[in-house]
Each structure stands twice: as C-alpha cells, then as structure tokens.
Amino acid sequence: MSIRLERLSALEAEDLQRRAAGGLARAGLGPGQKLAFTLGSSKHLLCAVLAATRSAITPVMINAQLTPGEMAEQIADCDPQLVLDSEAQLAALFDAPSRELAPYPLTRPMHYSSGTTGKAKGIVTAIWDEATAKAVFEDEAELWSFSPDDLHLLCSPMYHTVSIRFSAGTLLSGGSLLLMSKFDASTALESLRRDRPNTSFLVPTHLQRILSLPQLGSDEIFDSLRFLAHAGSACPPVLKYAAMERVGADALIEFYGSTEGQFTICPQQLWLEHPGTVGKARPGRRLFIDPDSVDDHGIGQIWCEAPSFAKFAYHRDPLATQAAWRGDAFSVGDLGHLDDEGLLYLDGRRDDLVISGGINVYPAEVEASLLGLSGVEQICVFGLDDPEWGQRLCAAVVADGPQREAALRERAATRLAPFKRPKDYYFVDDLPMTSTGKVLRRSLPELLGQP
C-alpha cells in the first residue's frame, strides 16, 4: 500500500469544510446528530470531520483497522444518522454548494476507547455555544502558540483525538498541514528533510522507528521544528535523550493525557531538571491525588480539575460517567504521585490497560473475544515492556496444551483488529489469584521470568 503525503493550507481547508457542510445539510444532518466515519486518514476526511464539528454535528471516528464485526458493534452503539464507509461517499459530500460555518468547532468528535468490561465505550462532549467554542479553541491555541507560519506534520491516524486537535488548531490559526495516509518512518523522515515542518506529534513507537532508520545521518538535526510533541505511552529515557539530540533546544515537549482529557505539559528543560516527570498541570487545570487511594509508597489515583467545557461522558453508560467525575475533576484511573513543586510522576497505568504503539488496548475486551475456544480454560492478557512498542501485548493461557496457540491466533485474526491481537502466548498451569479469586495481572511478567 502506497503512502500518500498530502499538503493542506488553511485557505483550501476552509473551502473544503464549507463544501462538506453543504453536503451534510443536503444529507439532512443537523445540530446534535451524529455522523460515523470508518475511513483512513486523508485531507478530505479531516475537512469533513471539521465541517461536522463546526456545524454542531458529532463525527464518530471509527478505527478503519477494526474487523467488520467490531465496526458493526460500534456503529450500532453510536446509532448515527449517516455512515460514510467508502471514499466515493466521502467525495460526494464535497459536491455541494458551500455553507457558512461557525468560526470554531462547536463540539469534539466522538472516539471509542476499548472498554474495561470487554465492550468499547464512546467518549462524547456536549454541544457548545459559540462563546464556549472560542474558549476551547483558545485554550489549545495559547498552549501550543499556533500561528499562520506553522506547517504541521500529521503522522497519527484520525481516530486519535490528538490528530484532530493539532490539525484544527493549526488550520484555524492560518497554518498548513502535511497529512500522511498511514504512518511510515521513511516517509516521515523524507518530509522532515524536504518540507521542513515546524511542528509535529509522534507517539514514542513512531519516534523510535524514525530514529532507527539506517538512512538517518549520524549528525542529522531537525532544526525546523519549534516543537515535537510526544505522548500516548511511556517514552524510555534513552529514546527521549536520543530525540533531544535531533531537535533544537526546548523543542521536545511531552504531555500526559487520554482520549477523555489532557492533564499535563512538560517542556524539554523541565524534564531535564526532573527526569521522569510528565510535567505540571496544563493552564486552567489542577492535579491532585485521591488521598483515600494512596498506598504505603505515596502512590494513588490521579485526578484533574478541569474547565467546565472539558466535561465528557461515556455514551450510554451513566454509571461509568459518574465514576469518572467528582464535581469538576475527572480521572481515568491512572496511578502516580505529585512532588512538592506540583510535578506529576506516573507510577503505573491501571492494570486493566495496555498501551501498545500509543494505542489503548483493554485486556478484558481481548479476553472476551478469545475465550470460548475448546480446550482453553482461562486467559489473562497483559503487557510486557518493549523497546519499540512501549508495551507488547501478551496472553497467559491455561489450556490443555500449547498446541492451542494456532487456534487462538486464528480466533484473534477473525475477531480482533491487528493492534488488539496478542503477540506472544504463554501457557501456564494456573493463573496467579488473590484469595477472592481475582487474577493478579501485574504479577504475571515476574512469574513468567519476563522483564
């Protein structure tokens, strides 16, 4: 599959968005309704998404890598008024008279995150008035200092919330984009050399792949970048130091967040002074650790007090929404501690989450899809540290023998998207359990003799 690299200016993007808005109106879509996309990244997809958000229509971003069954489940759950699942449908959307748009997005796209119970859950935001929409835009634009001079290299897929946030901020500030249809390290390197973008975002896995390319010069510097942001999974210090050597002073910026919301910002110099931190609370936020959750080592559940416009809900799951919020503060269950200067250190994601290649994978969903195979009694999915992926998805299996591995891999291939399929299977006599019968997922790497 060839990799497309498309250039999109703010002027062209505005024209495409207005035409797409006309197409949405012609299709009968209006404020408060939903539109689902199951397509790969492109400038037309991005402009259709932004046209929807600026029309108070919620675009639902469904991962194009999902199996047909997984896609069907999410489409049924979000119940959209329209599904665009072909390039021809997308192109037809732009064959319409232009329509006026709100100056800024009036909502955010709905993204699905794999569920802790084995069922994916949609994350939704309210429809804002124009004053709130302006405040949301300025909150992002001021943090990253977007300007008409920006050329942003977009490497992550559209079903990642960060892709649309950086793209919208750049375009609505008058800047331009370079959009990759799919990440490819060689294509990214070529663009960094030829096009000299001045902003980009990379998950650590993609950063590692670029820095590992044999054609990368030993003293090559990407000095056009005013910032190279990274997040999505833990970045090993050796990779972080290597990246710093390739960019200008203070250009490497880390942030910690999730699909639900953003917590911190960590400039390069701050990290050098406090290695291991993910930074301080973003402007307008306040971090705290739930005192009732703190263990003997001072580690507890991280909460973030956020502006009212950051409020989200889990689609059709009021109990999960209620559990995620305490007044104006939310948590996604991650664990950490704050030092006396307000710097946050992550001490482990919750054990029901594996982040592999910057993508969240919930073990319960994988386990639910693999169980039911003859000869397989129990499965526990977990992550192992990995230099390329951050975490490598693995499965510990209680079965009548290792001969079941082929059947498990075949079952995973038919039921799960590639990023949800375990890379390694370990066959064990028993899974470690608490006295109440709960699997001790975190103890599996040590028990299996893995680092």
Tokens, residue 60? 């639902």
Structural Rg of the chain based on CA atoms: 22
Tens digit of pLDDT per residue, the chain (451 long)? Answer: 689 999 999 999 999 999 999 999 999 999 999 999 999 999 999 999 999 999 999 999 999 989 899 899 999 999 999 999 999 999 999 999 999 999 999 999 999 986 545 577 899 999 999 999 999 999 999 999 999 999 999 999 998 899 999 999 999 999 999 999 999 999 999 999 999 999 999 988 899 889 999 999 999 999 999 999 999 777 878 889 999 999 988 999 999 998 999 999 999 999 999 999 999 999 999 999 999 988 877 888 999 999 999 999 999 999 999 999 999 999 998 888 999 999 999 876 565 678 888 788 888 788 878 887 888 888 999 999 888 888 899 999 999 888 899 999 999 999 999 999 999 999 999 888 765 556 788 888 888 888 6
The DSSP line for 244-267 is: HTTB-TT-EEE--B-SS-B-EEB-
Q: Tell the burial category of 46 from Cβ atoms under 10 Å away from its Cβ (0-12, 13-18, 19+).
A: buried
* Neighbouring-strand partners of residue 433: 439
Tokens, residue 95? 């064959």
- Long-range own/partner contacts, residues 165-168 (CB < 8 A, 24 or more apart): 165/140, 166/199, 166/201, 166/229, 167/46, 167/50, 168/50, 168/53, 168/105, 168/137, 168/140
CA nearest 389: which of 424, 360, 357? 357
**What are the boundaries of each domain within the chain?**
5-345, 354-447
What is the third-level CATH fold of 354-447? Answer: GMP Synthetase; Chain A, domain 3 (3.30.300)
The pTM score is 0.84
The answer for residues whose C-beta is within 8 angstroms of residue 245's C-beta and 6 or more apart is: none
Which one-letter DSSP state was computed for residue 274? Answer: S
The DSSP line for 76-108 is: HHH--SEEE-SHHHHHHHTSS------SS-SS-
CA nearest 408: which of 378, 449, 440, 364? 378
What is the third-level CATH fold of 5-345? Answer: Rossmann fold (3.40.50)
* Neighbouring-strand partners of residue 35: 59, 82
Cα(260)–Cα(331) distance, integer angstroms: 9
